[in-house]
Structures are given as C-alpha cells and as structure tokens.
Amino acid sequence: MRGKRIMAAGLLLSMSVLSLCACGRQYPVAEDKIYVGVAYYDKSDTFLNEFITCFQKEMEKGETFDGNATVTVRDAGSLQQTQDDQVKELINAGCDVLCVNLVNRTDPSEIINIARENDVPIIFFNREPVAEDMLQWERLYYVGADARQSGVMQGELAAEAIRENPQIDRNRDGKIQYVVLEGEPGHQDSIIRTENAVNTLKNKGIELEKLSCGIANWNRAQAQNRMMQMISRHQNKIELVLANNDDMALGAMDAYQKLNYTEAALPAFFGIDGTDVGLEAVREAKLSGTVYNDKEGQAAAMAQLAVAAVTGKGMEKIRFQDGKYIYLPYYKVTGDNVSDYSEESISTLQ
Ligand code: BGC
Ligand code: CA
C-alpha cells in the first residue's frame, strides 16, 4: 500500500516534469528521484530473490545514484500475461525505467510495445530475449552472464575433482556414470550449460556414461522428485550429478538423504550459482563445487545502466557488447576458495 502511494506521488512528479518537456519524453525525470519497476518471473526462484535483494541495496545505497531511488518489485507467478499486466501498471504508476526478467523469454513483444509507446527504457535481465526481439527498439538492454562459460567451468570443476579423487569412479570401470538435472526447457542457461559441461569433461579426457537426464525447472523440490526416480532406476550406479543450478543440486542431495544413503555411497554433486545455500553446501563439502553467478556484479551493472538510461548521464562509461548487452563473468568455487565468497569478502571485492 505504502509503495503504491509513493508510486502515485512519483506519477504526479513525473507528469509535472513531463509537461515541462513538451518536446517529448527523452529524459523526463527530476534529477534527484528515479522510479524503477522490477518485474520477475517467479518468487520461488532462489537465485533471483538474492539478485533482486542485491539490486535494491545497490539502488538504495546512494553510490550508483545520489538522489532518491524507489524500486517496486512485482512477481509474475510464472504467467506471462500477469507480467504484461504488471508492466502496464508499473508504467501507469510512473516508472522511469523497467527491469524485466521475462516469464517467457520468447514473448516480450507486448511489454516492448507498451514501453515504447511510453518511452520507458527496458533492461531485461537473467532470461535473455532472442536477438531479433532485442532489435525491436533502441532503448532495450540486457544484463546477464554467458551461459557457455558457466557450463565449461562446471565441466572443469568436475574433471579436476575426478582426477583428484579416483574414488568418484566407484565401480572402477574407468568411466563416470552421470545424470543431469536441467532447468526450464527453452531457458538459454539450461541446454547450453549441460552441453558445455559434458563436452568439457570429454575434452579433458574423462570417459562418461550418461545414465539419465531430468528436467526440474531450477527447482529444489522437483529435483528431489526427479532424483528419486533416477535412483530407483539406477540404484547406486550414479557417480556424478551435474545440475544446471545449485537448488537442483541440493534437491538431488535431499533425495539421497531421504533414502538414508551413507556418505560413502553418494555421487559427487556440482551446481551453478553460489546461492547462500549453495555456498553453505560447498563449505560443508556436500557440494563438490559450484560456479558463481555474480549477482552482485550483475545487480551493480543493472543499477548503473538503469540510472544512465533514465538520466542520460554515464552511458558512455558502460562497456556494452553489441551496443546493448552486458555480460558479467562467472567464477569457479570449491572448498578451497569458498571463504572468498562470504558476504563480507564479496562486498570488499566489489
Ligand atoms: C540461474 C538459476 C535461475 C534461473 C532463472 C539461472 O541463470 O542459474 O538458478 O533459476 O536463472 O531464470
Ligand atoms: Ca564408473
């Protein structure tokens, strides 16, 4: 409620500034205030919740923007139609810039049209629209990370672990029997991460035997279910679990725990993200490794871009790829360096 009132005040303010700019709404905001609307696909997503918290802190801490920034967040509950409506509401409430994590990354046209009609720039994040859609309008941007890199790094981590710990090949047949837990089909990170992790392991000379692959939509509970099915089919043959994200790696571990497997009988698990729970599992040596999806870096880049897109200032300092993309690098995390990823260490690294 309170948020709504603030946004309504913002609407009046933007309108009064707007009416002074009869020539159009290029940079219509008062320099000391900006209103940012964030729309994301689903509030059950662990990584995105952490990412959005970082973004809010970033906007509010006053380093990126020394005025007053108001951030309003909407969760679409995995429905594109709901997100389209939320974006309309955010624009009607006077948002100066939108940060959109699409539900369906191939279906941004309605959002782009409304934003263009109102001349409100959009920064898509984490769920990357296809290239043609990004060309629909010049005030569209994307902030994310390179899926291929995360897959390669996961493969490298797994290859190193297998070389260092020959006992991972529990049946000693010289091959690693593995399963994959995949994110949503159609998400740029799912297929690309899997392909690159597996190819990297092969390129590193690790012989692999794929036992199974299950889609668990980034979700811990779904991953637990899928893993229970895989265990019942393959019993203790599974030596390696490659998960497209940490939540699914943790769900796989939950399945083994539920079945009371002893530690010695567990496969090696690898995730991607370095969420709080993911890093905790690395610290406890339950997760052999993860790949850090740099939410702090991405959130800082999105904040900087949001301010530049609204005020028109600072755009020249941003290093884009192809004029509208910002990709932050991933980092490998194992038990050896996980202490660099405590909250304090990350904030001092920035
Ligand atoms: C993250 C996942 C997350 C997904 C949501 C991916 O980049 O690794 O944890 O669920 O984005 O779009
Ligand atoms: Ca084996």
Q: Is it the case that residue 251 has pLDDT exceeding 80?
A: yes
Mean pLDDT of 128-149: 98
User: How far is the centre of ligand 2, averaged over its atoms, from the C-alpha of 237 (Å)?
Assistant: 8
What is the pLDDT at residue 61?
83
Q: Which are the contacts of 193, defined by CB distance < 8 A and separation ≥ 6?
A: 147, 150, 151, 154, 183, 244, 272
pLDDT at 306 over 90: yes
Distance between CA atoms of residues 242 and 183, nearest Å? 11
| pLDDT score for 32 | 84
Mean pLDDT value of segment 201-224: 98
Please give the Cα distance from 70 to 177 (Å, whole number).
50
Helices (H), the chain: 2-20, 46-60, 80-92, 109-118, 131-134, 147-164, 188-203, 220-234, 246-258, 276-283, 295-311, 343-349
Q: Whole-number mean pLDDT of the chain? A: 91
The pTM is what? 0.90
Give the number of the atom of ligand 1 that is nearest the alpha carbon of residue 272. 8
Res. 166: pLDDT tops 50:
yes
Taking 70 as the threshold, does the pLDDT of residue 82 lie above it? Answer: yes
Please tell me the predicted confidence (pLDDT) of residue 345.
Answer: 73
User: In testing the pocket of ligand 1, which one of 126, 192, 215, 272 has its CB within 8 Å of the most ligand atoms?
Assistant: 126
Residue nearest to atom 11 of ligand 1 (CA): 126
Mutation pick for ligand 1 pocket among 44, 45, 80, 103 (CB with most ligand atoms within 8 Å): 45
Residue 248's Cβ-side half-sphere holds a number of Cα atoms within 13 Å equal to 27
pLDDT at 31: 66
- Residues with a CB atom less than 6 Å from ligand 1: 45, 47-48, 126-127, 187, 189, 218, 245, 272-273, 293
* The pLDDT of residue 30: 58
Give residue 318's pLDDT band: very low, low, confident or very high (50, 70, 90): very high
- Check residue 347 and give its pLDDT: 59
Bridge partners of 125? 143
